[in-house]
């Protein structure tokens, strides 16, 4: 898993450069968020008590989230990639570009929460609030900038 994620992190920036069409940008953007979601799928059940806490697995997922949050995904949010432009090929609402300052602030909140994850992965007591904060950062953006 770690090698796969590492390979994707190196391939993703190359894919961003190659994302010349709006459709390509959307596919790359969706792939990026799927990688984040896969890591949350490890951490959230532990934090919710639905899965036994495993410090080693939590550390890997937390490190992956922190690494992914360092990737500059702004090229993937190019104009012409909203629901108004591409219909059901994306769930990115036009509000991303209409309220770019708010979108950027929420992305910063995600990056800050993600950066705290590796330090929080060592115990269930520290993981739970960190996952809550990270989930809240995700939700804040989804509520305003993602079609349901």
Could you tell me if residue 132 is inside a domain? yes
Query: Total structural domains in the chain?
Result: 1
| C-alpha–C-alpha distance, residues 102 and 105, integer Å | 5
Residue 32 predicted with pLDDT over 80: yes
Q: C-alpha angle with apex 92: 86 to 95, nearest 5 degrees?
A: 110
Span 80-130, pLDDT tens digits: 999 999 999 999 999 999 999 999 999 999 999 999 999 999 999 999 999
Angstrom CA distances, 99 to 8, 95, 103, 145, stand at: 30, 5, 6, 9
Annotated binding-site residue numbers for heme c: 138, 141-142
Annotated binding-site residue numbers: 138, 141-142
Residue 14 predicted with pLDDT over 50: no
Domain with residue 95: its CATH number is 1.20.120.10
Supply the range of the domain harboring residue 49: 2-73+85-145
């Amino acid at each position: 898993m770690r090698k796969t994620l590492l390979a994707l992190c190196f391939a993703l920036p190359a894919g961003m450069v190659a994302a010349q069409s709006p459709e390509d940008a959307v596919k790359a953007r969706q792939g990026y968020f799927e990688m984040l979601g896969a890591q949350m799928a490890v951490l959230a059940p532990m934090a919710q008590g639905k899965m036994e806490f495993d410090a080693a697995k939590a550390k890997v997922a937390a490190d992956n989230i922190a690494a992914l949050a360092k990737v500059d995904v702004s090229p993937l949010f190019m104009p012409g990639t909203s629901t108004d432009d591409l219909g059901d090929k994306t769930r990115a609402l036009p509000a991303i570009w209409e309220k770019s300052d708010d979108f950027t602030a929420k992305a910063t909140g995600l990056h800050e929460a993600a950066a705290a994850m590796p330090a929080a992965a060592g115990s269930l007591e520290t993981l739970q609030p960190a996952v809550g904060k990270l989930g809240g950062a995700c939700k804040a953006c989804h509520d305003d900038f993602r079609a349901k």
